[in-house]
Amino acid sequence: MTRAEFMGRLKQGLVGLPMATAAEIAADYEAHFEDGAAAGRSEAEIAAALGDPGRLARELRAEAGARRWGQEQTASSAAGAIFAILGLGAIDILILLPIVLPVFGTMLAMLLTGVGVFIAGGFVLAVGPFVGAPGGVLGAVLLGVGLMGLGLFMGGLFALLTKWLIDATIWYARLHYRVLKPALEPQPVVQA
Amino acid sequence: MPETIEIQLKKGVLTLCVLALLNRGDSYAYEIASTLSDAIDMGEGTIYPLMRRMQADGQVETYLVESSSGPSRKYYRLTDAGRRALEAQTAEWRAFVRAVDAIVDAPAAPAATPAEEGAEQ
């Protein structure tokens, strides 16, 4: 592989990252080729020692995704981090599916219950005082506000659990990062 | 698969190696990569994801040094957090090596006793 081919495949793999980050990464690898050339190595030698550019790009994207999640906890950064990590193959989704599905189901049920309780509270608060609820006007108002509070609390708990779950997923994936794999895989072929 | 344990071991000590190298003196990625690829056979390209990760974790920081030829070069140096990580990981590594050595180098004395009994019979 020539330097141009390597850089082309690397940049292709980095599409979707912020421009500045991708440029910085590309500059790192360009500098590597410069230093290698200065040390008297051929482009093909340097590219072979660097490893598969597609795989390197996936690792760099996963790293960038995890970092972005660390800086801003938004739905898009969470999705970015998780998809980047899935792309890396660090988490085998088929093995994890039986564990992940019930967890997500529970979380979703909790969120829906929270929303339902909140709406019910609002309904009791708005309608209760006029239809002669058993506790009287004050009872209906208190019950309504109480239910809305409970709904908010459940929503907050859901948000907290979700953040914790995503943190745990990223932590797990980083732990199982196969950093050396691309470089070590061709090794046995060379020796054999 | 005899390579598996090797990959796992190298993966585990890669960060420690980079921390130790930078503790000896600031360096740039090409130098770190070639030193480590000679010593522990790692792919040179993997140094960049690793350095970005260590930078994100606050263990290293970068600065540019003007070069007489070509563009300026990016150097890495350890932060205080990096030095603490080096201390902690070095201690863990030493303890691990001691524990494994103790098992691997244990004298075969317990096995010798039944063999002697067998010879006497």
For A147-156, the pLDDT digits (tens) are 888 888 888 8
pLDDT > 50? residue A186: no
Query: Between β-strands B73-78 and B60-65, what pairing exists: parallel, antiparallel or unpaired?
Result: antiparallel
- Taking an 8 Å cut-off on Cβ atoms, the answer to whether A49 and B71 are in contact is no
Q: Does A87 touch chain B (CB under 8 A)?
A: no
| CATH number reported for the structural domain that contains residue B107 in this entry | 1.10.10.10
Residues of A in contact with B56 (CB under 8 A): 63, 66-67, 70
The boundaries of the domain holding residue B79 are 3-120
**Nearest-5° angle of CA B9, CA B13, CA B18?**
150
Which pLDDT score, from 0 to 100, does residue B2 have?
47
Contact call for residues B16 and B89 (beta carbons, < 8 A) = yes
pLDDT > 90? residue B24: yes
Q: How confident is the model at residue A40 (pLDDT cuts 50, 70, 90)?
A: very high
Predicted confidence (pLDDT) per residue in A156-174, tens digit = 888 888 888 878 777 776 6
- Taking an 8 Å cut-off on Cβ atoms, the answer to whether B49 and A179 are in contact is yes
Residue of B4, B31, B48, B74 to mutate, interface with A, max A Cβ within 10 Å: B48
Cα(A8)–Cα(A144) distance, integer angstroms = 61
Cα(A132)–Cα(B120) distance, integer angstroms = 100
Which pLDDT score, from 0 to 100, does residue A169 have?
76
Q: How confident is the model at residue B53 (pLDDT cuts 50, 70, 90)?
A: confident
What is the tally of structural domains in chain B? 1
Which pLDDT score, from 0 to 100, does residue B19 have?
94
